[in-house]
């Protein structure tokens, strides 16, 4: 029975995340890039400056930087390590090229999402902010589209609870810890109704659930304060070590870039026909790029709406840097390290094993040290993703329930329980369902971005005319 269910779900997942949706998302990014006049290039220095410079006297709950870190906490996850490896192994090194191309257009998408989130957000008297695709659909497109906003919010709740925020991340953490401390599963305990598990998995799930609970009970301000510390730390740590890997193998970098570009357009010339066609490289790269930076999915604007700012354009620019950091910097470095070390060509390796091989063979440190660093990054990456997706799901539920915080508080404890049982959830259907809901989130959001692209352009023009005049 389970096989039949899995086959049906896989077919639905392949359809949802097929070429039409990816083309839809990329087309939206291209449209916005053209209409905004390559804003992601022209205004990137300004965006990076405003990323760390908070706006004074802005409405909202948290600083722009904290809002960015909250959004990055959800986007910088296991996908940056495991997802890139999967894409390069399945689609060849050319997948990395298409991943970067996707991110380039995705920056315009992310900018538009952040702008609309602030423009159409609702701020209560106590400073509590709520915004995101559900509000810019309802208020921007009109009340007659409220049904589309509710569909988005429903899918947002499902994504957080059914896997992206819980099961898949927790599994990633427990697997990484188990692989480092008890790879042979020599210290196990039998858990009734669940089976035999390593003590490292049991302890990891318990500690993780407690840590998540301590953060989530404090609400968005505590999530933001934790993200402000962990996200920059983990990003800098990871970039530092991958940077060392690239520098110590600097003579191989030009050849690696050549392979990546050649494989993007002529995979067979590089792979000997083992990986597939240009279409496969493009599909894997685009899909992984979208999954990694979430541009177009509509998740990041939920965090952007909480930013203390009066200027939608300013927050749009800050939001845009998230895609730049997540994919163009971190994912590119991961992919480059995999190509440099030849890890993508090693038979029998998959997922995190590919990146582990790259670290162990590319870094000038003992293999155990390299493995520990990668495990640490995976744990931090996945932990913050859990926090970020709880926030997204709670805001979606708050919208669906008409602001009933009792429902939100109940959901929070259900979410914590899901984190606790995460390592013991092995049914592949869980991950497939999560993927499906994630894709379905993108549809209402992209419809809104197409419909409101004129508003984005008008707001941008008005802001920079005012900004340039005040200089």
pLDDT tens profile 112-162: 999 999 999 987 666 677 888 999 999 999 999 999 999 999 988 888 877
User: Do residues 376 and 365 touch, judged by C-beta distance below 8 A?
Assistant: no
Structure confidence at residue 205 (pLDDT): 79
Structure confidence at residue 228 (pLDDT): 77
pLDDT digits (tens, 9 = 90+) for 35-81: 999 999 999 998 888 887 766 656 666 677 777 777 777 677 767 77
Q: Kindly report the backbone phi and psi dihedral angles of residue 401, in degrees, each rounded to the nearest multiple of 5, phi listed first.
A: -90, 5
How would you write the pLDDT of the chain (471 residues) with one tens digit per residue?
A: 656 777 787 788 778 777 788 888 899 999 999 999 999 999 999 888 888 776 665 666 667 777 777 777 767 776 777 778 888 887 788 889 998 999 999 999 999 999 999 999 987 666 677 888 999 999 999 999 999 999 999 988 888 877 667 777 777 777 777 777 777 777 787 777 666 777 887 788 788 888 888 888 777 677 777 777 887 888 888 889 999 999 999 999 999 999 898 888 876 655 555 445 677 777 777 777 777 777 888 888 988 888 888 889 998 998 899 889 888 998 899 999 999 998 888 887 777 788 888 988 888 888 888 888 888 888 888 888 888 888 888 889 989 988 788 888 898 888 888 888 777 665 556 667 767 877 888 899 999 999 999 999 999 999 998 877 776
pTM of the model as a whole: 0.86
Closest by Cα among 316, 288, 309, 281 to 107? 316
Burial 284-295 (b: 16+ CB within 10 A, else e): bbbbbbbbbbbb
Q: Is 30 helix (H, G, I), strand (E, B) or coil?
A: helix
Other CB atoms within 10 A of residue 119 CB: 22
Q: How many angstroms separate the CA atoms of 3 and 278, rounded?
A: 31
User: Do residues 351 and 86 touch, judged by C-beta distance below 8 A?
Assistant: yes
Q: E-assigned strands of 195-303?
A: 195-198
Domains of the chain with CATH codes: 16-460 (1.10.4160)
Burial 244-276 (b: 16+ CB within 10 A, else e): ebbeebeebeeebbebbebbbeebeebbeeebb
Mean predicted lDDT score pLDDT of the chain: 82
Cα separations in angstroms, 24 against 106, 107, 204, 269, 283: 12, 15, 40, 30, 13
DSSP letter at 343 equals G
Q: Kindly report the backbone phi and psi dihedral angles of residue 198, in degrees, each rounded to the nearest multiple of 5, phi listed first.
A: -65, 145
User: Do residues 231 and 73 touch, judged by C-beta distance below 8 A?
Assistant: yes
User: Do residues 458 and 316 touch, judged by C-beta distance below 8 A?
Assistant: no
């Amino acid at each position: 029975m389970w096989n039949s269910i899995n086959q049906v779900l896989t077919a639905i997942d392949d359809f949802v995340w097929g070429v039409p949706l990816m083309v839809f998302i990329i087309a939206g990014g291209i449209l916005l890039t053209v209409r905004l006049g390559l804003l992601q290039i022209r205004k990137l220095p300004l965006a990076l400056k405003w990323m760390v410079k908070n706006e004074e006297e802005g409405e909202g709950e948290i600083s722009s930087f904290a809002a960015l870190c909250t959004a990055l906490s959800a986007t910088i996850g296991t996908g940056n390590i495991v997802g890139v490896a999967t894409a390069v192994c399945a689609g060849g090194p050319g997948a990395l090229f298409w991943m970067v191309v996707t991110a380039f257009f995705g920056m315009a998408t992310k900018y538009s999402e952040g702008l609309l989130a602030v423009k159409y957000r609702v701020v209560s008297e106590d400073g509590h902010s709520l915004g995101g695709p559900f509000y810019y659909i309802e208020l921007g497109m009109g009340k007659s589209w409220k049904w589309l906003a509710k569909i988005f919010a429903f899918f947002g709740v499902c994504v957080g609870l059914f896997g992206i925020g819980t099961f898949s991340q927790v599994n990633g953490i427990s697997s990484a810890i188990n692989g480092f401390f008890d790879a042979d599963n020599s210290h196990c305990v039998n858990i009734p109704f669940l089976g035999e598990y390593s003590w490292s998995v049991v302890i990891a799930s318990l500690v993780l659930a407690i840590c998540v609970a301590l953060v989530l009970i404090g609400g968005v301000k505590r999530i933001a304060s934790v993200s402000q510390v962990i996200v920059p730390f983990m990003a800098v740590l990871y970039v530092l070590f991958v940077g060392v890997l690239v520098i110590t193998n600097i003579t191989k970098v030009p050849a690696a870039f050549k392979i990546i570009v050649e494989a993007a357009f002529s995979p067979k010339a590089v792979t000997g026909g083992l990986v597939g066609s240009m279409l496969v490289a493009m599909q894997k790269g685009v899909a992984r790029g979208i999954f990694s930076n979430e541009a177009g999915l509509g998740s990041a604007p939920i965090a952007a709406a909480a930013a203390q700012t009066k200027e939608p354009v300013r927050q749009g620019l800050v939001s845009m840097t998230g895609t730049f950091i997540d994919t163009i910097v971190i994912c590119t470095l991961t992919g480059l390290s995999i190509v440099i070390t030849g890890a993508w060509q090693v038979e029998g390796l998959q997922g995190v094993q590919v990146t582990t091989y790259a670290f162990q063979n590319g870094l000038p440190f003992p293999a155990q040290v390299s493995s520990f660093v990668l495990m640490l990054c995976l744990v931090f990456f996945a932990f913050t993703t859990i926090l970020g997706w709880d926030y997204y799901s709670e805001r979606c539920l708050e919208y669906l329930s008409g602001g009933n915080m009792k429902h939100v508080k109940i959901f929070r404890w259900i979410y914590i329980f899901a984190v606790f049982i995460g390592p013991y959830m092995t049914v592949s259907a869980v991950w497939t369902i999560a993927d499906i809901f994630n894709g379905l989130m993108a549809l209402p959001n992209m419809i809104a971005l197409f419909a409101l692209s004129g508003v984005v352009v008008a707001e941008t023009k008005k802001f920079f005319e005012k900004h340039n005049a005040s200089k």
